[in-house]
Structure 1
Amino acid sequence: MTEHRTAAQALRAAEVVILGAGPAGLAAARLLNQRGLAPRVLERDASQHARSQGGSLDLAGQGGQLALREMGLSREFEALARPLGQRLCLMDPDGTVRVDVDEAAGEYRPEIDRVQLRQLLIDALPPETITWGAEVSDVTPLANGRHRVRLADGRRLDADLVIAADGIRSRARPLVTTEQPAYSGITFIHADVRNPGPGSFVVRHTGEGALHVLGDDRAILAQRAADRSVRVYFAVRTAEDPARVQGEHFGDPTPVRERLRETFAGWSPDLLNVLDELDGDFAYWPLYGMPAHQQWHQHSGITLLGDAAHVMPPFGGEGVNMALLDAVELVHALFSPEHATVDEAITAFERRMLDRMTGVILDTGAAGELLLNPAGTAPLLAHFAAAQARR
Structure 2
Amino acid sequence: MPTPAGLKELDIVIAGAGPAGLAAARLLHLNGVGVKVLERDADRSARTQGGSLDLGEDGGLRVLAAAGLAGEFTRLARPQGQRTSYFDTDGNLLLATDESDEDEVRPEIDRLQLRSLLLDSLLAGTVEWGRALTSVERRGERWRLTLAQGETVDADLVIGADGIGSRTRPAVAREAPVYTGVTFIAGEITHPRPGSYAAEVVGEGSGLVLGHDKAFLCQRNGDRSIRVYFAQRRAEDPSRATGTTLADPDFIRRELDREFADWAPKMRGILDEVEAKFVWWPLYTVPTEQRWAARSGLTLVGDAAHVMPPFTGQGVNMGLLDALVLVTALTSPDHVDVDSAIAAYEAEMLPRMADAVAATHAAQDLLLSPEGPAGLLALATSGRGQC
- Both proteins in one fold, TM over 0.5: yes
The answer on 1:143 being equivalent to 2:140 is yes
Match of 1:215 in 2: 211
**Secondary structure in 1 matching 2:122:** coil
Counterpart selection for 2:242 from 246, 253, 265: 246
Tell me the residue number matched to 2:119: 122
**1:277–1:389 CA distance, 2 compared to 1 (3 A):** closer
Q: Secondary structure at the match of 1:286?
A: strand
Kindly report which structure 2 residues correspond to 1:1-391, keeping only aligned pairs within 5 A, or say none: 7-106=3-102, 107-144=104-141, 146-387=142-383
- Matched residue type, 1:183: Y
Shift of residue 388 of structure 1? 5.9
Task: Give me the whole-angstrom Cα distance separating, in 2, the residues matched to 1:337 and 1:129.
Answer: 26
Instruction: Check the 8 A contact 2:191/2:224 in 1, yes or no.
Output: no
Is this contact kept in 2: 1:18–1:40, CA < 8 A? yes
Report if the CA contact (8 A) 1:24-1:165 is conserved. yes
Q: CA 1:317–1:16 in structure 2 vs 1: closer, same or farther (change >3 Å)?
A: same
Cα separation, 1, equivalents of 2:172 and 2:101:
41
- What is the SS of the residue equivalent to 1:212? strand
TM-aligned CA deviation for residue 234 of structure 1: 0.3
SS in 1 for 2:153: strand
Structure 2 runs not aligned, ≥5 long: none
SS of equivalent to 1:140: strand
C-alpha offsets along residues 65-121 of structure 1, whole Å, 9 cap, x if unaligned?
Answer: 010011010000000110100111110001111112323442210100000000000
Cα RMSD (Å) of the superposition? Answer: 1.4
Task: Give, in angstroms, the shift of residue 263 of structure 1.
Answer: 1.0
TM-score, normalised relative to structure 1:
0.96
Residue 331 (structure 1) shift = 0.5
Q: Secondary structure at the match of 2:382?
A: helix
TM-score when scaled to structure 2?
A: 0.97
CA distance in 2, matches of 1:70, 1:385: 38
Change (3 A) 1:128 1:240: same
SS in 2 for 1:204: helix
Residue aligned with 1:33, SS? helix
Q: CA, structure 1 residues 337+178, in 2 after alignment: closer, same or farther (shift >3 Å)?
A: same
In 2, are the aligned partners of 1:333 and 1:339 still within 8 Å (CA)? yes
Name the CA distance, whole Å, in 2 between partners of 1:332 and 1:370: 36
For residue 22 of structure 2, what is the amino acid of its counterpart?
L
Q: Count the aligned residue pairs.
A: 385
- 1: distance between equivalents of 2:87 and 2:336? 55
Task: Give how far 1:216 is off.
Answer: 0.5
SS of match in other structure, 2:209 = strand
The answer on whether the counterparts of 2:245 and 2:279 sit within 8 Å (CA) in structure 1 is yes
SS in 2 for 1:370: helix
What does the per-residue CA deviation read over 1:207-245, in whole Å, with 9 as the maximum and x for residues that have no partner? 110001101100001000001000010000000111100
Compute the displacement of 1:64 (Å).
0.3
Pick closer, same or farther for the CA change 1:214–1:159 going to 2, 3 Å. same
